Structure 1
Amino acid sequence: MPRNEPTEGTESWDGEGSARRRKAARYAVPVAVGVVAAATIGLVPAFAGSGSPDLPKISAQDLIAKMAKSDVQQLSGTVKVTTDLGLPSLPGGAGAFGGGQGGGGGSAAPQSKLMELASGTHTLRVASDGPEKQRVSILDKAAEYSLVHNGNEVWGYDSGSNTAFHHTAPGNAAHGKRQAPEEVPPGLKNATPQDLAQRALQAAGDTTSVTVDGTAKVAGRDAYQLLIKPKQSASTVGSIRVAVDAEKGVPLKFTLTPKSGGAAAVDVGYTSVDFAKPAASTFSFTPPKGAKVVDGGAADAKAHRPHGKGGAASEGMKAPEGMKAAQDMSGMNVLGKGWTSIATVKGEGSGLPSGKDKSKGAAGGPAAFLDSIGDTVHGSFGSGKVFSTRLVNALVTDKGTLYVGAVDKQALIDAANAAK
């Protein structure tokens, strides 16, 4: 059958056309917004409507090509994000990654909002006008957090604490260019269906099956549904479904379902979308009267000083946790390929402390809690603890080496055995 001939929606695309995949990886609207992976979401009520539209048949290859050709630079809309990774709760009721109250400090720094999107349902308002103007607002019941990128400036504002975060990237006078700000963390850039679909398609290859699986109505627009399934049995990912706007070629919804079944682990989608140019005022920001303003540039410079001397910015701002984590992960290696890639980090010391260590307190303290949520495993590598979510599993050996990936427990043990 000719390659470009329309086919039934179940035609498989198993990694053919690497050039098209490379193009597809560039289609996403550059909306500097949160999630997740990330991340990185309960949209069924929002998308209930007139059912599946009757659209012309299209092959997976042609649908991906349509996405690659899409050059939508301007849009605004509302996105609902629901994440159910099955993360354990820490003592005191906080989530495993800090809970949903901004860490309790009311910080307006973008990094402080990353972990809030790791669980629960959130509503975002997004707007984009090309690569230099984006805005996202995370709406909460009692407060709103806004992140505004305009040229070489980034503002973050938390209405709950009336705190603003500001960063200006230095210009390059010699070449008449401005540097792009680095204060928008990757996790906050990857919470739209476009960004998440891009990352999923980058993994497409001989380890992946891609098909067109029917149509859908999303945010009032007709869409094709692209179904992505790993072929590697050790992957914890069951399937990824991407609803692609039939006219614009822009992903409108992204749903990741674990192999274990149940509710989606990540579900991100527009409930309303408008492809008109947003008003210029959308990307303007002036701190409200009385707002506490933290200079992000000063924070970054001090955070990189040796031994943390002067590492706190004005008003006592500390180096972002994400930055610390990135420094700790500097020795990371990746084993395997495709959906069963495993990241490994050789730690220092002798691994996790045991809950039996009475020096941690009568109840064992944090060590006892780690023992309670992890499963002890053994292999030729020695012993260790496996910590599991619905999507990502991690093995920490007694020698301090970390193995983590969207793979099952046995794949982690096999990797540790092979690397001993």
Structure 2
Amino acid sequence: MAPYASDDNTTAGETDDLPAGRRKAARYVVPVAVMGVAAATIGLVPALADSGDPDLPKITAEQLIDKIAKSDVQQLSGTVKITTDLGLPDLGGLESGLMSGAARHGADGGSSADPSAKLTELASGTHTLRVAADGPDRQKLSLLENAAEYSLIHNGKDVWGYDSASNEVYHGTAADHGAHGRQQPPATPKDFAEEALKAVDPTTSVTVDGTAQVAGRDAYNLVVKPRQSGSTVGAISVAVDAKTGLPLKFTLTPASGGAAVVDAGFTQVSFAKPAASTFDFTPPKGAKVTEDRELEHAGKAPERAPEHEGDRHAGGVPEGFSGLNTIGEGWTTIATFDTDGEGLPTAGGGAGGDLGGFLDSLGDKVSGKFGSGTVFSTRLVNALITEDGKVYVGAVTKDALVKAADAAK
């Protein structure tokens, strides 16, 4: 494989020989599976980099990617600030109500401490997290809220979630999480960067763009950009710790410009071994404790998404939807599936008509060879729903969705 040029003018072919695990689609950093969250919500805090760029040895993009891949930080603690902003229309607080309602779903037999519900709050707004890790069997993440705190603790075989606002506790095991296919949303710069680097393929430009200081640490800036037109992704920037290779800051900016869609970065970090007591947890007196198995039996535990061999974009399709396929490649990949012939409610009379009118107000009417439909737009993920119930969704422009629908006819 030809090395990356020292001036970082990376060519598409130079990235093509990277391991397959790094070439999967970061265009699904916000995947189809979370479109439900995106449709209800996903800004960026001011840049977390300190003033003054450090003078570091030159490094190529390939070397920096390898540095990230080889990073083996086992022990750390710190504070992360994460902000997400899809630029959704103002729904008068409805979206925040939906998110908090999901987190408080204990009223219908679940638990507000269930991480699969609570951590969806990270998909909207600005949040401060405290994180700690001591090897693969001990991690802790605390979501700081107004006068409350939510903590997710993995200590050996036990996984605990505690919501101080409701005094509810979730308890499961690492084995339970694996068996149920539970996946938590990205929360740290490393989580986001791992997804982003899967996009390194011939449709991607990768460069090193100077240096920065993040949380008092010297870092290199790795920039990942789509080469294709039609993507809503402008650029992904990852600040990589010069010493350890750990991603310290992740920023995804949209092609339309303005504030970032996702920004997650350490404001403070230490690589010292956290105290063992950091990962201790005993349910407080009077707390309601819900076992993971109880959620499973109550039908609350999420099912494992089906896997389709050879389909790198495969994922679960909600009940009533079928035929998940993809169109195109690289950053302009579009997922398409059917709503089993049911399009959006029309703006006619009755309750369905009222809903149709409301939905119409949030989207843009479009037409083409495919017929007509409505495009629901965010700053990153857009979706076209045709009147005959076909859905086209991806991190692409509205025009790209219409072209894909026309080509399918």
TM-score where L is the length of structure 1: 0.82
Q: Which residue of 2 aligns with 1:274?
A: 270
How many Å apart are 1:414 and its aligned residue? 1.6
Residues 1:352 and 2:344 are matched in the alignment: yes
Once the two structures are superposed, the pairs formed by residues 231-380 of structure 1 within 5 Å of their partners are: 231-303=227-299, 318=300, 327-328=318-319, 331-356=323-348, 358-360=349-351, 364-380=353-369
How many Å apart are 1:19 and its aligned residue? 5.5
How many Å apart are 1:219 and its aligned residue? 0.6
Q: Which amino acid aligns with 1:95?
A: E
Q: Which residue of 1 aligns with 2:71?
A: 70
Q: Using the alignment, how far apart are the partners of 2:333 and 2:202 within structure 1?
A: 14
How many Å apart are 1:213 and its aligned residue? 0.4
Contact 2:161 2:169 in 1 (8 A): yes
Once the two structures are superposed, the pairs formed by residues 113-262 of structure 1 within 5 Å of their partners are: 113-168=118-173, 181=178, 185-188=182-185, 190-262=186-258
Contact 1:12 1:209 in 2 (8 A): yes
Worse overlay, 321-330 or 132-141: 321-330
Contiguous gaps of at least 5 residues in structure 1 = 27-35, 171-178, 304-317
Contact 2:79 2:131 in 1 (8 A): yes
Contiguous gaps of at least 5 residues in structure 2 = 25-33, 107-111, 306-314
Q: Using the alignment, how far apart are the partners of 1:84 and 1:367 within structure 2?
A: 26
How many Å apart are 1:180 and its aligned residue? 5.7
Q: Using the alignment, how far apart are the partners of 2:275 and 2:17 within structure 1?
A: 36
Contact 2:181 2:302 in 1 (8 A): no
Secondary structure of the residue that 1:72 maps to in structure 2? coil
Q: Using the alignment, how far apart are the partners of 2:118 and 2:290 within structure 1?
A: 16
Secondary structure of the residue that 2:14 maps to in structure 1? coil
Q: Which amino acid aligns with 1:234?
A: G
Change over 3 Å in CA distance of 1:89–1:249 after alignment to 2:
same
Secondary structure of the residue that 1:44 maps to in structure 2? coil
Worse overlay, 232-241 or 92-101: 92-101
TM-score where L is the length of structure 2: 0.84
Change over 3 Å in CA distance of 1:66–1:408 after alignment to 2:
same
Q: Using the alignment, how far apart are the partners of 2:97 and 2:3 within structure 1?
A: 46
Q: Using the alignment, how far apart are the partners of 2:184 and 2:280 within structure 1?
A: 23
Residues 251-303 of structure 1 show CA distances to partners (whole Å, capped at 9, x for unaligned) of: 11000100000011110111111112222222222111111111221211342
Worse overlay, 270-279 or 319-328: 319-328
Secondary structure of the residue that 1:349 maps to in structure 2? coil
Q: Which residue of 2 aligns with 1:395?
A: 384
Secondary structure of the residue that 1:412 maps to in structure 2? helix
Contact 2:54 2:218 in 1 (8 A): yes
Q: Which residue of 2 aligns with 1:83?
A: 84
Change over 3 Å in CA distance of 1:53–1:124 after alignment to 2:
same
Change over 3 Å in CA distance of 1:326–1:221 after alignment to 2:
same
Alignment RMSD, CA only?
3.0
Change over 3 Å in CA distance of 1:322–1:163 after alignment to 2:
farther
Q: Which amino acid aligns with 1:340?
A: T
Contact 1:86 1:390 in 2 (8 A): yes
How many Å apart are 1:320 and its aligned residue? 5.4
Change over 3 Å in CA distance of 1:118–1:180 after alignment to 2:
closer
Q: Which amino acid aligns with 1:283?
A: F
Q: Using the alignment, how far apart are the partners of 1:407 and 1:4 within structure 2?
A: 28
Q: Which residue of 1 aligns with 2:395?
A: 406
